[in-house]
Every structure is written in C-alpha cells, then in structure tokens.
Structure 1
Amino acid sequence: MTVLVTGGAGYIGSHMVWALLDAGEDVVVVDRLSSGFAWAVAPEAKFIEADIADCDAVAGIIRTHDVESIIHFAGSISVPESLADPMAYYQNNTVNSFGLIKTAIETGVKKFVFSSTAAVYGTPDNDDPVTESASLRPQSPYGTSKLMTEMMLADAAAAHDFSYAALRYFNVSGADPMGRTGQSTVGAINLIKVATETALGKRDAIEIFGTDYPTRDGTCIRDFIHVTDLVAAHMDALRYLRDGGESLVANCGYGRGYTIREVLDAVRRVSGRDFEVRPAARRPGDIVTSIADPARARDVLKWQPKHDDLDEIVGSVLAWEEHLRRRNHM
C-alpha cells in the first residue's frame, strides 16, 4: 500500500516524503509545481505533476498506486497574500481540498492527515499556550480557508468510514539535518528563511512589521518548530490512525515563544554576521502572540520532538542556504 503526498515537491512536503521513505513506506507525490520543485522530490518516490483540483486524475492515481492514506500539504500559506486575493485562497485551500476529500472517500482511502495552521485561532485571549479547545477566530482568509477544510473533514468522518488528523502548525522552519531538502522557494516569507538570506547577503535588509505590540520588546511572538519534528508528528499521526485511533486535531509547536527581535539575534549569533533591520508598519492579519500547547500531540500521538532548539533551527537553515548557493552556481 502507498501513501499519497499532495504538495510533496514543496518545503514541508519534501521533508515528509523523505521521512516516509526512511520508514520503508511506498510514496507517490502529486504536485502542480506552483511553488515546489521536481528536484526536491526524493528519487525513490513516484512523482506525478498534477493538480489536486483534477479529481479524475487524482482518482486514477489512487487506484493505480493502491493508495491507502493521504497526507495533504498542497495549499497556499501567505496571510498578506490571502488578504489581497481571498478567493484564490478559498479556491486552493478549501474548494480543492473538498475535491480531494470527496475523491478519497469515493476511492476507499480511509486515512487522511491534513496540514492545518495555528492561524485558525487568531489572536488568543491571553499569552498562555493555546490548546485545541481555544476559540477559533481566524484573522485572515488563509486561516479561515484552513478552518473550513477542518470542518469538512469532521463532517466527512462522521458520515463515512474515514478518519483524519488535522495538525495545526505553528511557525515551521529549519531544514533536513542530512541536507537532503529545505525551504527553496524564491521570495519565501518565512522569518528565519528571510533573516538567513539577509545575513548571507541575498537580501539587502529585513523588515520588522510592527514594533509597538504589547510584548516584551514590541515585536510579535511566535513558537518556532523544526520541520523535522513536524514531519515526525505526521508519521505519528499516520501510525495513530492506522492503529484505529479516532479522528483528532492536534497542535504542532514546542510551547515556547520567541519575539521577532530574539529570532534575528539568534540568526546574528549563529551566522556570525550582522545585517540591516528596518522597522515597518504592522501588517493586517498578523497575530500578536502564537504559542502552542502541544500536550495532545505528545500524549495521544506519542510525539517526541528532538530538535527543540532555536540555534539548531537557524543553523540548519543557514546550511541549506549555502547548499542552494552552491547548487545555483553549478
């Protein structure tokens, strides 16, 4: 039996493919390459360039490759972009996910792991780590489009022989410790990616969007999770569902937050380089403080993160940036 990874040529998806192959799974990847790269797909996986919006093509892939479960990463992820073009986000993140879920049920796929987001919570009522039972008040079409998919999954699981795990990511960063893949998207907005590019001279400066928030240094606070630990949570979720576990939603974060300035200081420290930081206006849709309570993932999925260290995360991104520099000069 095979695991279908949608968006498997992208940042997190390509790490997932390697983790599945490392575990001895058969993997087929579907990606339209809107932001991913065919070269990022592990060679042992079967790669098919296709759009999940093409339900007939996806159904054929599921049947041809005897797909048993789906891990769904294909989606758009920029809060500012979603505010500027909300309908594109509802199309890609909600409508296309609807078609994928419907196709999965119709073709007999019973296990589904979904890439959701902490953006479904919006700004919490206090600075405590957020539990899965917190109010759901997304502040952007990005967050809302992901929440709508979670709602569809819950209704589908109630009506069919179908179970799912929706993993709510906090801030994902880092790169594969073995150097096999990393964040390669040109113009990516991930904070640590942008900061390391700036430290290495690939960008002139980095902007801080808002320096007057009610936090310890005026900048937003985020819970940064290493991508390798995140994909391990997906492996644990898949194992949990295969063992008969009931559908669930779980946070993926470490339970500790860093301000934007603290992250920039870490990039300076690890890289040994200084760089220009420019204050900028607040961005609509930005959440002030976002810290996970990961107890459910640890207790129910038996998730045991191994890379909970900001300097390690930054170091892995720097190493990947150097890899990309060498690759681009080959």
Structure 2
Amino acid sequence: MAVLVTGGAGYIGSHTVLELIEKNEEVIVVDNLEKGHKKAVLGGKLIVGDLRDMDFIRSVFKNNNIEAVIHFAAYIEVGESVKDPLKYYNNNVVATLNLLTAMKEAGVDKIVFSSTAATYGEPENIPIQETDKTFPTNPYGETKLAVEKALKWADKAYGIKHIILRYFNASGAHESGKIGEDHNPETHLIPLVIQVALGKRESIKIFGNDYNTPDGTCVRDYIHVSDLAQAHVLALEKLRKDGESDVYNLGNGKGFSVKEVINVVRKVTGHSIKADDSPRRPGDPAVLVASSEKIKRELGWVPKMNDLEKIVETAWNWHKNNINGFDDK
C-alpha cells in the first residue's frame, strides 16, 4: 500500500518523499505545482492536481491503494495571509476538508499533518510546549489551527487518526545537493541572506535591533529540512504502531538570532554581506523557540543537523549550484 504525500513537490514535502523512498515505501505525490517543482520529486508517482477539486482527490483514492496520508499542501506566507485571508482559508482549510472527506469515503484512517508553531501566537513560555494555549496572530496560523480542530473531530466521528507536527523555520537542503529550497517569492531568512552572497539582492534587512535578546535582534528556531522529514516518517510509524492521535512540536531548543544567521552565512560563503537596520515589523515577538522534548522522548526523534553552520552549508551548496532554482516553471 502507498503513502500519499500532498504538496510532495514542495520544499519539505520533497525531502519527506525522498526519506520515504529511502525506506522503501511506495509513495504517491499529489501537487498542483503552483509552488512545487516536478524536478524536486525524486521518486514515487506524481499526480498533478488540486485538492480543492473534489472529483480529482476522490479519483486519487479510487485509483490507488492508499494506506496513509502526509499532508503538506498549503500556502505559508504570513504577510500574504494578512492581505488575503480568504485565499488562505480556501487553500489551507477547504482543500484539507476535501482531503479528509475523500479519506473517510475511501476508509483511509491515518494522516500526518504539517502544522505550524504559528498556531501558538505570542508565546506564553520559551521554549513553547505542546500544552501552551493557541491564539494565532495571523490568518496563516488560524487556518492551520482550524485544520487541527477539524482533525480532532474527524478522529472522534470517523476514527481518522492524526499526528500534528508544529514547527517554525525549515532550513537547509538535502546533503546530496539534489533538492533544496526554491520559493518564489522567497520569505525565509537563510535563503534571503544567501541571495545577497550570490549577488541576487544588494542587502538583507534586519527588522529591529533593540529587542530584549543577547544581540538585540529576533531569535528564531531553524531546523534542518531533512530532520523535519525524518520526524514526519516517525509520526507515520507511530500511527501504524499504536493508532493514537497526538501533537508534537519540532524545535532546536535554543534558537538563533538574525545577526547570528547573517554572520554564519558570511563565514560559510566567504562573501561580505551588507545588512541594513530597519524598523521593527508589527507583531514580531523577540524570541520564538519550540521545545521538542516530547517527540524526542516518545518517538525517538534525533536531529542530525542542529548546528547552524551545517544547516547553512547545505543550503549554500544547493543555492550556488542551482542559482535559478529548479528552473522548471
């Protein structure tokens, strides 16, 4: 039987597909290729289509022997979600309800959901715990929380079991250099700083340098994308083993500041990177770091690349050799 990976041509999705393939899993990828890339899918069967099309997603389950789902397909840009919340509710919530409906009809009862630590909003504690209150401060986080709530009720009503994974910043690239991060537009710090090193932008903006942190800049979680992929596979294995729904944070435990990231990119690339101080952005907390003690304890998750320099090295290796990304649009 196959594992269906929605959004499997995207950044984290493609790394998870590769992780599954390396474990000899049969994989089916569904992606509309709006954000994803055909060239990022290094194995399995790619079916191009949109989860908002109910007939399409029903056909996927009808024509394939699917055991479980790992669900990535979503819009992820916080700023855009504030400007166009209905776009995010339509893609992130409505599409997921279609997916769950098709799963129910097909008798598929296991799903791993790629959520976000943005569901917590302004953190009560650092590091953030799974039991902390969830009050998202933007539509993106609200759409992910809406799906989490739908999963809870789908479990009670239909027995569809779920693992929810909440995390902040996926980063880096596969050690093989075959796949990496290719967003357009790019909004993540590490690839943006690398773009300066590659001459694709003049400078990087530092939004606020007077926060209550060691160097005055915001501190954030950065987790290597392959470690995230491994966590999704471990979550699937848990569902197969005990069939119990649960939620887990994924974090590095301490976080890195904006200035730390810029300095490490300078060191790794050997390029002088111009950084410009800019005013704070509204709603940016000083520190966002999630605790991953629960998933380490219960599922045996062991991040292999939690060193910032190693993360940046893999990202640099990908970007310098793929200066135009996957170039398949």
TM-score grouping bracket, smaller chain normalisation? over 0.9
SS in 1 for 2:166: strand
1:57-68 → structure 2 map (5 Å cutoff): 57-68=56-67
Quickly say closer, same or farther: Cα 1:142–1:287, change in 2 above 3 A: farther
Task: Name the aligned partner's letter for residue 15 of structure 1.
Answer: H
Tell me the SS of whatever aligns to 1:243.
Answer: helix
Instruction: Give the 3-state SS of the residue equivalent to 2:271 in structure 1.
Output: coil
Secondary structure at the counterpart of residue 129 of structure 1:
coil
Equivalent positions of 1:19-168 (< 5 A) are 19-42=19-42, 44-126=43-125, 128-168=126-166
Distance (whole Å) between structure 2 residues aligned to residue 197 and residue 224 of structure 1: 18
Tell me the TM-score normalised to structure 2 length.
0.96
Q: Which residue of 2 aligns with 1:294?
A: 292
Compute the RMSD of aligned alpha carbons.
1.6
2:198 partner letter: L
- 5 Å-filtered alignment, 1:191-230, equals 191-230=189-228
> What are the Cα deviations for residues 45-70 of structure 1, in whole angstroms up to 9, with x where unaligned?
11111001112211211221101111
Shift, 1:271, TM fit:
1.2
Determine the C-alpha separation between the residues in 2 that align with 1:23 and 1:61: 23
Cα shift at 1:18: 0.6
Q: Show the counterpart of 1:272.
A: 270
What displacement does 1:240 show? 0.4
1:40 counterpart letter in structure 2: A
Gaps of 5+ in 2: none
What does the per-residue CA deviation read over 1:277-311, in whole Å, with 9 as the maximum and x for residues that have no partner?
11223223433311111011111222111111100
Q: Which moved more, 1:281-290 or 1:106-115?
A: 281-290
Give 1:161 shift: 2.1
Secondary structure at the counterpart of residue 46 of structure 2: strand
SS of 2:179's equivalent in the other structure is coil
> Whole-Å Cα distance in 2 between the matches of residues 170 and 316 of structure 1?
19
Superposition deviation, residue 210 in structure 1: 2.2
How far is the alpha carbon of 1:198 from its aligned partner? 1.0
Given that residues 123 and 289 in structure 1 are in contact (C-alpha distance below 8 angstroms), is that contact kept between their aligned partners in structure 2?
A: no
| Cα shift readout 1:226-247 (whole Å, capped 9, x = no counterpart) | 0000000001000000012410
Q: Once the two structures are aligned, what percentage of the paired residues are identical?
A: 44
Deviation at 1:328, TM superposition (A): 7.6
Deviation (angstroms), 1:72: 0.5
Letter in 2 for 1:92: N
Is the contact between residue 5 and residue 70 of structure 1 (CA under 8 Å) also seen in structure 2? Answer: yes
2:18 maps to which residue? Answer: 18
C-alpha contact 1:184 1:324 (8 A) present in aligned 2: no
Structure 1: runs of 5 or more not aligned = none
Does 1:240 pair with 2:238? yes
The CA distance in 2 between the partners of 1:327 and 1:191, in whole Å, is 17
TM-score (norm 1): 0.96
1:233-269 CA distance string (max 9 Å, x none): 0010000000124101100111111111111111111
Residue 327 of structure 1, CA deviation: 7.2
Distance (whole Å) between structure 2 residues aligned to residue 281 and residue 100 of structure 1 = 41
Cα displacement (A) at 1:90: 1.1
Deviations 1:158-197 (A, max 9, x none): 1122110010012110100111210012321111011111
In structure 2, what is the Cα distance between the partners aligned to 1:279 and 1:181? 32
The CA distance in 2 between the partners of 1:327 and 1:171, in whole Å, is 19
Which secondary structure state, in structure 1, belongs to the residue aligned with residue 322 of structure 2? helix
Paired position in structure 2 for 1:325 = 323
Q: Which moved more, 1:18-27 or 1:318-327?
A: 318-327
**2: distance between equivalents of 1:133 and 1:328?**
39
